[in-house]
Structures are given as structure tokens and as C-alpha cells.
Structure 1
């Protein structure tokens, strides 16, 4: 599970430290754990912050948000069915952030780990700074960049690709979730909220979204890779095969 100091949490949630303290004062956000004099937040806090921001953006007042959160965390509620934070997808992640010492980054990327490339990686969220350490929110994405560099792709180009991948996957994820919202939630009306009896059903709908996106994108990428790799480098593969056959003959 990821750990955040309050300034790191604010950056990850796209809000301010002041707002976090306001939400805590209004009992919208659970208190952090304490490690000595340091407040430590987790993935649950991040998910709750995103939920609060979403509700504020839709025009809900603090009192309304607290009332709904209190309702969700009591009785037959969304929190009981699958956990309030899990409903946003936090619990479905197959990866856990990993601390990456600077020595490991240098080993992976060598002289290409320039200040400009490191700054770009931080801007893209490929890396995050936690005090004197770096954290990879997605170790798999970092390793993919490492593998590209091992294949002699410039790190700057790999980072540009990471930005494009994020934009495209956000767009496609938005299309998938948008369909569910359009046909499952929006027909109920803009101010609709499920009753206590309806909560388990809609909690189940929400709980399916993250694995649905993961399955759809994974299957689509697999099909695309099988088709596109031969299309782009097939001529080189044929040429190499022909040369090998000629040398053997």
C-alpha cells in the first residue's frame, strides 16, 4: 500500500494541503496514521479525496457530502458491501508503488538519466518524489521504459511515448466508463442516489468497472500487438530470414 505525507497526498489528489485539513476538520477524511511526529496517509485517503472532489465539482455542499458518507458507512451501505474506497477502484490495482533508489535509476538508465528526463518523468507521474526518495507508482511502466532503453530507444522518446499512452488510455477508459454511466446511472436522473435497498446492486456495478477496464484494454492490446508487430517490422523479419537461408545455403 502506498504511503503519502500530506504534501504528497495533495499533489496526487490534485488538491491543496489546506483543503485536506479542511476536509479533516469537517470529518470528511479519516485522520492519518502517525509515525512519530509525521502524519502518514494511504490509498484509502487518496480515494476518499478524489470522491470528495468529484462531489464538490457536482455542486454538493460539505454538509451533504458528510451526510452521504455517513450513510454509506452505516448499515447496509456501499462501504459494507465492498468498501467506500474500493468502489473507486483503489483496491483493484494489480501493482503496488515501489521505492526506487537513485542508484537503481542510474543503473537502469545510465547517462540518459539527465535532469531534464528526470524532471519529465516526475511531471508525467512515472516517478514521484517522496522526501529524498523516488517512488514508481507503476513499477511495470518504469520497467517498460527500462526495456525500451535497453533496446537503444532514447529515454526522452520513451517518456514521450508514456505521455501519449496515458492520454490514449485515459480517453479509452473514459469511453468505457461513459457507456456505463450513460446507460446505467444517468437514466435515473442527475440528482438520483440509490436507496439503501438499491445500494448492493449499484455497489456491484461500480465494483466491476476497474476489472472491466483492465480486461478490455488487456485484450485489445494483445490483439493489437499480434497484428501490428508483424505489420511494422515484418519486412525486416523476412529480410533476416532470407539472409540466414542464403548463408546456410
Structure 2
């Protein structure tokens, strides 16, 4: 314990307090000897980094609890092959990406959506594109909770679209050609979404009839 506290730059008393609050996992025990490892040191450094970013110990404890109960990266990324590029982040990097928005509630929602998974002391986002877009929206002032709620609703529609095109390709294309034709289905969806956005934004810009 003394060695771990020294490497982390904290006192043994602080380390004991973190253990009591459940901020770090218990050590491996051999008889009366408690062994700490690099996992514990990484967690302590993460706690220090999050404290510097304005998180409270209570909030960090809730985040740690959500982190420990989160879906493992193998459960999420091992389901099916994907064209999306996953991104590995430390907890402090995630906090920097969504400044002030990484609350226990938002973290738990992202785990539930499957946007995030855990891998040891790291967090894995399932899609670089989703990560970049959601971070950009948050920087524009849109709350992360609202972004994820929109993502949940979009998923309902995209699942239906995927089912439609999967059936179309299975019915009319040879099995060996399905993968090759997949980008065409994506292009149709992207084009229709672009046209729909144009229509919706144009309607929003049009002056409303006052009835006079």
C-alpha cells in the first residue's frame, strides 16, 4: 500500500479512503499480504485527472461503478464484423472530449446504447464517426443526453431501413454479391436523408401564414 501510494503521489490515508469509497478495486491477497498492480495505479491516476477536471469524488465513484458494470468490449465488438472504426479512450480523454457532460447518467446511457464498452482500464467507443459527430454537437451547445436520445430514436429507423435493404439484397442478389452491393444501399439512405433534411430545413425557414 505504501509503495502504491508513493507511485500515485498520494498519502496512504487517501488511498485507504479511496478503497473505502470503492474508487479502486480490492487488492489481490496472499495470506496477510495485499498485492496492488498497474491496474490500481492507473485507476488512481485516472481519479487524479478527473478531480483536476472538476469531477467530485461522489461522481467519480458513480462513474467507477458504471464502468465496472459496463459491457465488455468483446460483448459489443465481437457480435458481428463492422465497417466502423472503434476508438480506445482513457476515462480522462473521454472527459476532455465531452467537457462537463460525462456524468454517471450519461455514461450509463452510452453503455446501454452500446456506444461504449470497457476493456480493462480503457473505454472503447464503437465508432469513430459517432464519437466525432456527437462531440461536435456537444461543442455546439447540444446536451450529450439529447444527442444520445436522438441516437436512440435514429436507431429505431435505421434498424427498419437495414431490414428493408437486407431483405432486398437477399431476395434479388446472389449471396456472394451482398457484401459488394452493401455500399449502394448505404448511398440510397444517405441521399434520401440529405433530401429530407433539405425539405425540413426549408419548411422551417418559410414564413408561416398568420391567417390575416
In structure 1, distance between residues paired with 2:123 and 2:198: 35
- Does residue 153 in structure 1 map to residue 142 in structure 2? yes
Output the aligned Cα RMSD: 2.4
Counterpart in 2 of 1:184? Answer: 172
Counterpart in 2 of 1:137? Answer: 126
In structure 2, distance between residues paired with 1:213 and 1:164: 20
Give the count of matched residue pairs: 136
Q: TM-score, normalised by structure 1?
A: 0.49
1:59-78 → structure 2 map (5 Å cutoff): none
Counterpart in 1 of 2:76? Answer: 12
Correspondence for 1:120 among 89, 95, 109? 109
SS in 1 for 2:124: strand
Cα displacement (A) at 1:235: 5.5
Correspondence for 1:219 among 172, 177, 191? 191
Closer, same or farther in 2 for the Cα pair 1:177/1:130, shift >3 Å? same
Cα displacement (A) at 1:117: 0.3
Deviations 1:146-165 (A, max 9, x none): 12211211111111111111
SS in 1 for 2:142: coil
SS in 2 for 1:110: coil
Closer, same or farther in 2 for the Cα pair 1:230/1:104, shift >3 Å? farther
8 Å contact 2:76–2:117 — kept in the other structure? no
In structure 2, distance between residues paired with 1:235 and 1:149: 27
1:167-206 → structure 2 map (5 Å cutoff): 167-181=156-170, 183-184=171-172, 201-204=174-177, 206=178
Counterpart in 2 of 1:229? Answer: 201
Unaligned runs of 5+ in 1: 1-6, 14-42, 48-89, 186-200, 237-249
Counterpart in 2 of 1:23? Answer: none
Unaligned runs of 5+ in 2: 1-71, 208-212
Counterpart in 1 of 2:152? Answer: 163
Deviations 1:122-157 (A, max 9, x none): 110111111111111111112211122112111111
Cα displacement (A) at 1:174: 0.7
1 or 2, which has the higher helix percentage? 1
